[in-house]
């Protein structure tokens, strides 16, 4: 499954899809979208309290209804300040849901135990997509806990694969963002 780096890059891509031409003013939005793209893994915190870090991982926090609810709440909060409700709702939901989509790309051979409860609370069944794009860390690494795993040298091949997959997506998104800005500039002249 993708690390926080891969999820953060997905949040950055979503930011580029909606960003205007003044990126310095958009840092708060970028940071919010990156945070939302990583937020489903908050379920690790609950596991730490009971002494079993993975006990609730890939459960309800990885569901589409939670993605929608997060989007609605943030869209409402941002909308009361800006008067714009739909765009923040869609962006927040998309950033949160990007985490779910990336985590589902571990392949169908790992569904069941490692799948996500994307339809919670309607179903506790676990699902993945049929394509194995990202890899799982070895059980010996995962057993040490998510924080220790992030700093283990054994995670480097997985992060390298993430970068090989996500950096082209980031570059294409950046190219389209620059092209959109250039087109707006030409239209303004």
148 domain residue, yes or no:
no
Phi, psi of 106 (to 5 degrees): -100, -5
The answer as to whether 144 is a domain residue is no
| Domain membership of residue 101 as a residue range | 4-135+155-182
Q: Please give the pLDDT value at position 16.
A: 93
Using CA atoms, how far apart are residues 95 and 38, in angstroms rounded to an integer?
9
Q: Is residue 110 domain-resident? A: yes
Residue 9 lies in a domain: yes
DSSP secondary structure string for all residues of 48-109: HHHT-TTTTTTSGGGSHHHHHHHHHHHHHHHHHHHS--HHHHHHHHHHHHHHHHHHHTB-GG
86-104 vs 27-38: helix crossing angle, rounded to 10: 40
Does 123 have pLDDT greater than 60?
yes
CB 63 within 8 A of CB 122: no
pLDDT over threshold 80, residue 92: yes
Cα Rg for the chain, rounded, in angstroms? 18
Structure tokens at 112: 């069941």
Q: Is the pLDDT assigned to residue 124 strictly greater than 60? A: yes
pLDDT over 90 at 79, yes or no: yes
Give yes or no for residue 159 having a pLDDT over 60. Answer: yes
Whether 81 shows a pLDDT value over 90: the answer reads: yes
Give residue 144's pLDDT. 63
What number is the average pLDDT over the span 133-138? 75
pLDDT at 25 over 80: no
Per-residue confidence band for 77, with pLDDT thresholds at 50, 70 and 90: very high
- How far the first Cα of the chain sits from its last, in Å, is 46
Position 150 in a domain = no
The pLDDT tens digits of the residues spanning 36-48 come to 999 999 988 887 7
pLDDT of residue 58: 82
Q: Which pTM does this prediction carry? A: 0.88
Whether residue 30 is contained in a domain is answered as: yes
Question: What's the number of domains the chain is made of?
Answer: 1
In terms of phi and psi (left: phi > 0; alpha: psi -120 to 50; beta: otherwise), the region of 145 is left
Residue 24 per-residue DSSP state: G
141 lies in a domain? no
Residue 142 has pLDDT above 70, yes or no: no
**pLDDT beyond 60 at 113:** yes
CB atoms within 10 A of CB 73: 12
Domain-embedded: residue 142:
no
């Amino acid at each position: 499954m993708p690390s926080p780096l891969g999820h953060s890059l997905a949040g950055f891509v979503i930011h580029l899809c909606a960003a205007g031409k003044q990126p310095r003013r958009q840092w708060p939005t970028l940071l919010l979208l990156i945070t939302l793209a990583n937020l489903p893994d908050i379920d690790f915190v609950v596991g730490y309290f009971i002494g079993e870090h993975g006990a609730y991982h890939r459960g309800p926090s990885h569901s589409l209804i939670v993605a929608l609810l997060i989007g609605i709440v943030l869209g409402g909060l941002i909308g009361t300040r800006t008067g714009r409700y739909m765009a923040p709702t869609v962006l927040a939901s998309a950033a949160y849901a990007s985490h779910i989509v990336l985590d589902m790309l571990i392949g169908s051979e790992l569904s069941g135990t490692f799948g996500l409860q994307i339809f919670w609370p309607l179903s506790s069944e676990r699902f993945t997509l049929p394509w194995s794009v990202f890899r799982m860390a070895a059980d010996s690494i995962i057993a040490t806990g998510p924080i220790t795993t992030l700093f283990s040298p054994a995670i480097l091949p997985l992060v390298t694969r993430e970068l090989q997959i996500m950096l082209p997506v980031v570059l294409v998104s950046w190219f389209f963002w620059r092209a959109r800005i250039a087109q707006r500039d030409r239209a303004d002249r």
